[in-house]
Amino acid sequence: WVVRWGLIHREIGSIEAIGVDEIAYRRGHKYLTLVYQIDADCRRLLYVARDRTEESLRGFFNAVPETSIQSLKFICTDMWRQYMNVIAEKAADVVHILDRYHVMKKFGDALNKVRVEEARQLKADGYEEVLKGSRWCLLKRPENLTDKQTVKLDDLLQYNLKSIKAYLMREDFQRFWSYQSPAWAGRFLDQWCTRAMRSKIEPMKDMARTLRRHRTLLLNWFLARGEISNGSVEG
């Protein structure tokens, strides 16, 4: 209520883009919903609410002046269904974008699922535990690896493992963000999803299904490039 009162009695002005995110506290058992202004030339926290329910985000749209909502051009979120439902209800005409950070985080989650299962299977079958200590080698971007992690990754790349195939698929998808044309990006996305569905790696197939389901919102990212703050909205 304090946040809502503050919004109503504060000069918000024109807002072109907002980013919606949630943060966990109390060891991940409680959440807060955060709404940021992420205009290209302005980044600030606008709103905080308890939980990450539809009502949590709906409170933002109910509290902010109608003129500010009408000026919105872009909304950037993760794939949390409750948020997406409210945006479809309250801002259906605004360009809705999936946040790049959260898309790639889902890739990391899928890759790690492959790694954990394969490491368990290798150990159970009595094979060399080559994936031991490999988590960050595979999850971090190559340019962020330590020298020791780089050596470990180079060694892992010599093996014909599902984890390595999943890693290479994740790295290949990074090319999606470098396209200038949404049409060509869409073609790449479709081809990547087709390859993933043929990979027989279930977490990557699940990732392909997710990308296909959100294809339009993924391609909206190209409409907003240069129009919103380069900073990601994760808490």
Task: Please give the tally of structural domains in the chain.
Answer: 2
For residues 114 and 134, membership in a common domain is answered with yes
Instruction: Give me 181's structure tokens.
Output: 């044309």
In three-state form (DSSP H/G/I as H, E/B as E, the rest C), the secondary structure along 180-202 is CCHHHHHHHHHHHHHHHHCCCCH
For residues 107 and 159, membership in a common domain is answered with yes
Q: What average pLDDT does the segment 59-88 reach?
A: 94
- Residue at 166 is within a domain: yes
CA–CA distance, 3 with 206 (Å, rounded to integer): 38
- Residue at 38 is within a domain: yes
Contact 195, 9 (CB under 8 A): no
Does the pLDDT value for residue 9 go beyond 60?
Answer: no
Helix residue ranges, H only, 14-161: 54-63, 66-70, 81-90, 100-124, 135-139, 147-156
- pLDDT for the residue 61: 96
Does the pLDDT value for residue 171 go beyond 80?
Answer: yes
HSE on the CB side for 71, CA within 13 Å?
A: 14
Does the pLDDT value for residue 3 go beyond 60?
Answer: no
- pLDDT for the residue 27: 76
The label of the residue with tokens 């919103």 reads 228
Beta partners for 48? Answer: 34
For residues 141 and 84, membership in a common domain is answered with no
Q: What average pLDDT does the segment 36-40 reach?
A: 92
- Compute, in degrees rounded to 10, the torsion defined by CA atoms 202, 205, 209, 210: 80
Does the pLDDT value for residue 1 go beyond 50?
Answer: no
For residues 51 and 156, membership in a common domain is answered with no
Mean pLDDT of the chain: 92
For residues 133 and 79, membership in a common domain is answered with no
Contact 16, 41 (CB under 8 A): no
pTM of the model: 0.88
Q: How confident is the model at residue 234 (pLDDT cuts 50, 70, 90)?
A: very low
pLDDT in tens, 84-143: 999 999 999 999 999 999 999 999 999 999 999 999 999 999 999 999 999 999 999 999
User: What is the domain extent for residue 55?
Assistant: 2-98
For residues 172 and 108, membership in a common domain is answered with yes
The domain boundary, picked from 33, 68, 98, lies at: 98
For residues 55 and 91, membership in a common domain is answered with yes
- pLDDT for the residue 11: 67
CA distances from 164 to 151, 189, 207 (A): 15, 20, 16
pLDDT in tens, 176-224: 999 999 999 999 999 999 999 999 999 999 999 999 999 999 999 999 9
Type of residue at 2? V
